Amino acid sequence: MSSKLTLGTKEYTLATLCLLLSGNPTRQVLLGYKKAGFGTGKYTGFGGKVEDGEDITAAAARELNEETGLQVALSDLREAGRLAFWFPHQPDWSQLVYIYATRKWTGEPVESDEMKPTWFEVDQIPYERMWQDAPHWLPPVLAGRRVYADFVFQADNESIQEVNLVLKERS
Ligand code: 6U4
Distance CA 157, CA 161 (A): 10
Predicted pLDDT at 170: 75
What is the Cα 76 distance to its own chain's centre? 16
Global pTM reads 0.96
95, 41 contact by CB (below 8 A): no
Predicted pLDDT at 67: 94
Q: Which parts of the chain have pLDDT scores under 50?
A: none
**Residue-wise pLDDT tens digits, 81-98:** 999 999 999 999 999 999
Predicted pLDDT at 36: 93
Beta bridge partners, 48, equal: none
Amino acid in position 171: S
Distance CA 136, CA 43 (A): 15
CA of 34 to the centre of ligand 1 (A): 9
Predicted pLDDT at 158: 98
- Residues near ligand 1 (Cβ within 6 A): 15-17, 37-39, 44, 47-49, 85, 95, 97, 114, 131, 133-134
- For ligand 1, atom 25: residue with the closest CA: 131
